[in-house]
């Protein structure tokens, strides 16, 4: 069953397909399309004319740039560019939502270790989960670990 949370902006010509779960405080801009079984977590921003493939998850505070299309999960706090790539962290959005400088620093550190480490991503994720992480950084790393489709990755770190 499709469920839509509270305080969302769902703009014209956007589409939420069957069996989607849409959280709270989402922005789904004009012409954005969610295919079946997509999950959009709280405070995600999906810009105009974006395409989200079926079974994709968008993490909390993630953002898709206009016209982007994804068939892989977008980790929390990240900005998705086109064709399953990440542009980086949505630091401006995090600051606007009241994340502390220390919390953002911890998320950035985890982001760099996951995507820019010398070891394979899976090993980096497992190692990070054994470290003492802030709740926000742990959520970021655990989201990646739990991904069944795989996650979008940056082209450069």
Q: Is 113 helix (H, G, I), strand (E, B) or coil?
A: helix
pLDDT, mean of residues 90-95: 95
pLDDT value at position 157?
A: 66
Question: 25-35 pLDDT, tens per residue?
Answer: 999 999 999 99
Q: How far apart are CA 120 and CA 110, in angstroms?
A: 14
Question: With 70 as the cut, is the pLDDT of residue 131 above it?
Answer: yes
Q: What is the CATH number of the domain that holds 21?
A: 2.160.10.10
Per-residue tokens: 111: 């982001």
Q: How sure is the predictor about 155, in pLDDT bands with cuts at 50, 70 and 90?
A: confident
Domain that holds residue 52: 3-89
Question: 12-65 pLDDT, tens per residue?
Answer: 999 999 999 999 999 999 999 999 999 999 999 999 999 999 999 999 999 999
Catalytic residues: 18-19, 36
Q: What is the CATH number of the domain that holds 117?
A: 1.20.1180.10
The verdict on 38 and 73 lying in the same domain is yes
Percent of the chain exceeding pLDDT 90 equals 94
Residue 32 burial by Cβ neighbours in a 10 Å radius (0-12, 13-18, 19+): buried
Q: How far apart are CA 14 and CA 94, in angstroms?
A: 25
Report strand pairing: 85-89 vs 153-154.
Answer: parallel
The verdict on 115 and 69 lying in the same domain is no
The verdict on 11 and 75 lying in the same domain is yes
The verdict on 16 and 72 lying in the same domain is yes
The one-character DSSP state at 24 is: S
Q: How far apart are CA 58 and CA 80, in angstroms?
A: 10
**Could you tell me the pTM of the whole model?**
0.96
The verdict on 15 and 77 lying in the same domain is yes
């Amino acid at each position: 069953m499709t469920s839509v949370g509270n305080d969302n902006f769902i703009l014209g010509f956007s589409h939420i397909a069957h069996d989607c779960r849409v959280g709270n405080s989402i922005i789904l801009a004009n012409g954005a399309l969610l295919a079946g079984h997509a999950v959009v977590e709280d405070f995600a921003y999906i810009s105009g004319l974006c395409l989200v493939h079926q079974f994709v998850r968008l993490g909390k505070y993630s953002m898709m740039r206009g016209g982007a299309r994804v068939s892989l999960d977008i980790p929390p706090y990240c900005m998705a560019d086109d064709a399953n790539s990440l542009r980086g962290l949505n630091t401006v959005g995090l600051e606007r939502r009241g994340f502390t400088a220390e919390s953002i620093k911890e998320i950035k550190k985890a982001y760099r270790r996951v995507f820019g480490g010398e070891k394979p991503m899976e090993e980096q994720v497992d190692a990070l989960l054994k470290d003492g992480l802030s709740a926000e950084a742990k959520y970021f790393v655990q989201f990646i670990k739990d991904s069944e489709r795989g996650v979008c990755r940056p082209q450069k770190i």
